[in-house]
Amino acid sequence: MEFGLLIMHPLFTSSFRKNILQLLIIIAFPAIMILIYVEVGLNKLDTHYLKKSEDLKSQANNIQILSLGSSNAYFGLNPREYSCLGFNLAFNAQSMYYDMEIIKKYIDTMPKLRLVVLPAIFYTTGTRLVGTSQDWRMYFYKQYWGLPLELESNSINENIKRLINSKNYSKIALYSDTIYTHIRDGFSGHVDYIPDKNGWYDSKDLPRLTDLIKVNSKGAFSHSLTFNESYADSNIVYWQQIISILKAKKIEILIVRLPEDVSYYSQLDQKKAQLFTTKISELAKNYDVNFADYSQDKRFVTDDFTLMNDHLNQDGATKFSKILNKEHLFENCIN
């Protein structure tokens, strides 16, 4: 009897339930619209992941020389100095896994491609992106480039977390740490580096190595410490896949080690440095690929580098790119 009376109470009438639903919609609608506004605004942010994607698409039909790699190559390879149209598709901390995924996805969009430059970088060869302080970049590759996440072979639970992470599809999640700043600035300004139309980063705003009172050699020590032979072996496999894909399409490959300041290469763990050189040399030999090692080239001096002593500055990059073009690239250019 009491239950029946409760059901008949005015609070449980269909009219009341309808009013509650309308109230919830009125409350939720502004919140939903704000979320949509923020998501759309963040989607337009000027990040180099977006800019390079757009620049690549606009030039893909005419690109003849493509370079990959991490920040060493991003700073150091300026396609402006090539004899034909080139594009720099390096990013900060780009792992060799993403070198491979970029080739797999975009190789068929570049019908005139004649040569791919693979920068052999000590740090990148001995590390991976996943599981590091830089692995947030994986979600930028996912959202802006549509590339699959780099995962760990022995960490299923962590991989599942990464695969279902909202950063895979939501810009609000992707930019969660800086949302307030972007809203305040009207979603304007630059999120990160501003690359040239050819993909190269002009580091003119960074100090030259010669401007520093003391050169910091901790980078070489840190890179030596993190170099992992097992990771190097996995990364070599990624490059083997790249080389196989390119050879099947009769596209030339050049593996190149960029110049390094003496304050960098002299401070590396020499056993690991030799291991790195051996692995790259064997890869080149086994696949009949040219390997040009400029790491200790005496034509480059301290004034050619930035505050990161394994990164060329704008003048060093121009100098190196001219040399590389003259010694290896120009013969692959067609009119």
Give me the pLDDT at residue 176, please.
Answer: 87
Q: What is the DSSP string of 147-168?
A: PPPP--TT-HHHHHHHHH-GGG
Residue linked to tokens 């080149």: 284
CB-based contact 48:195 (threshold 8 Å): yes
C-alpha torsion angle, residues 193, 198, 199, 201 (rounded to 10): -50
Q: What is the pLDDT of residues 303-319, one digit of tens each?
A: 999 989 999 999 999 99
| pLDDT-based confidence at residue 44 (cuts at 50, 70, 90) | confident
pLDDT by residue (tens digit) across 66-103?
999 999 999 999 999 999 999 999 999 999 999 999 99
Helix (H, G, I), strand (E, B) or coil at 255: strand
Query: Which is higher by pLDDT, 36 or 107?
Result: 107
Cβ–Cβ under 8 Å, residues 289 and 283: yes
Q: CA-based angle 35:36:41, to the nearest 5?
A: 100
DSSP 75-116: HH--GGGSSS-EEE---TT--HHHHHHHHHHHGGG-TT--EE
Whether the model clears a pTM of 0.85, i.e. scores above it, the answer is: yes
- Is beta strand 86-88 parallel, antiparallel or unpaired with respect to 115-119? unpaired
In angstroms, rounded to a whole number, what is the distance separating the alpha carbons of residues 203 and 30? 43
- What is residue 140's predicted lDDT score, i.e. its pLDDT? 96
In this structure, are residues 38 and 183 in contact, taking their beta carbons and an 8 Å threshold?
A: yes
Sheet with 252-257, edge to edge strand ranges: 86-88, 65-67, 115-119, 252-257, 290-293
CB 277 within 8 A of CB 293: yes
Give 155's pLDDT tier (boundaries 50, 70, 90).
Answer: confident
Taking residues 107-128, report their average pLDDT: 97
Report the top-level CATH class of 47-154+192-332. alpha beta
Question: What confidence category does residue 1 fall into, taking pLDDT thresholds of 50, 70 and 90?
Answer: very low
Domain ranges for the chain, please list them.
47-154+192-332
Residue 4 has pLDDT above 70, yes or no: no
Give dist(CA 73, CA 2) in Å, integer: 78
Identify the pLDDT of residue 7: 47
